[in-house]
Amino acid sequence: MPIKSYLAHSHKGKKAELVNALSTIGQCEVMPAENKDVVIVVTDTEDQIEEEILKKKLDTLESLKFLAMVSGFNAPQND
């Protein structure tokens, strides 16, 4: 059950578009920076396969310049 965080850099002037696009994806939580073309994205997926599908989906977003992973956690199944 991977949880990852990324810094998503938008193309110039496309931050709002990027935020909108990311917000429509269920597995993504988004926090845009106030003063830079950077958006924090936290992804929460069930397994590796879902995670890879999501990653491919993100890569097709036109407003996205590049995505840099910051951290990855594997949430435990139970405590």
Partner 1 sequence: MYTSLANRRSFIKKMAMLSAMTAAATMFPGILFAEEQEEGLPKNADLDWKKAPCRFCGVGCGVLIGVENGKAVAVKGDPKSSVNKGLCCVKGYHSVIAMYGKDRLTKPLVKKNGQYVETSMKEALDLIASKMKETIKDHGKDAVSIYGSGQWTIPDGYVASKFFKGCIGTNNVEANARLCMATAVTGFLTSFGLDEPMGCYEDIDYADVFVLWGNNMAEMHPVLFSRLLDQRLKRGVKIIDFATRTTRTSMAADKSILFLPQTDLAVANAICYEIIKNGWVNRSFVERHCNFSKGLTNMGYGLKDNYKFKDKPEKIDFNAYKDFLEDYTPEKVEKISGVSVKDIKYMAAYYGDPNKKVMSFWCMGPNQHTRGTWMNNLIYNIHLLTGKISAPGNSPFSLTGQPSACGTVREVGTLTHKLPHGVVMNKKDREFAAKIWNVPVENIDPKPTYHTVEMFRALDRGDIRFMWIQVTNPMVTMPKLKRYRDGAKKEGRFIVVSDIYPTPTTDIADVILPSAMWIEREGMYGNSERRTQYFEQMVNPPGEAMSDTWQLIEVAKRMGYEKQFHYKEETHIEEIYNEYRKHHVGKKHNMAPLEVLKSQPGVLWPYVDGKSTKWRFNAKYDPACTNGKDFHFYGKSDGRAIIWQRPYEPAAESPDTEYPYWLCTGRVVEHWHTGSMTRRIPVLHKAMPHAYVEVNPEDAKRMHIQTGDKVKLTTRRGEIILPASVNQRGIPAPMQVFVPFFDENMLINEITLDSFCPISKEPDYKKCAVKVEKV
Residues that bind partner 1 in the complex, under the rule CB under 8 A: 1, 3-7, 29, 31-36, 38, 40-42, 44, 69-79
The Cα 54–Cα 12 span in angstroms is: 24
CB of 53 to partner 1, least distance (A): 18
Per DSSP, 24 falls in state T
Nearest C-alpha neighbor of 7 from the set 75, 73, 65: 65
CB of 41 to partner 1, least distance (A): 8
C-beta closer to partner 1: residue 20 or 74? 74
C-beta closer to partner 1: residue 5 or 14? 5
CB of 29 to partner 1, least distance (A): 7
CA distances from 1 to 8, 16, 70 (A): 21, 29, 17
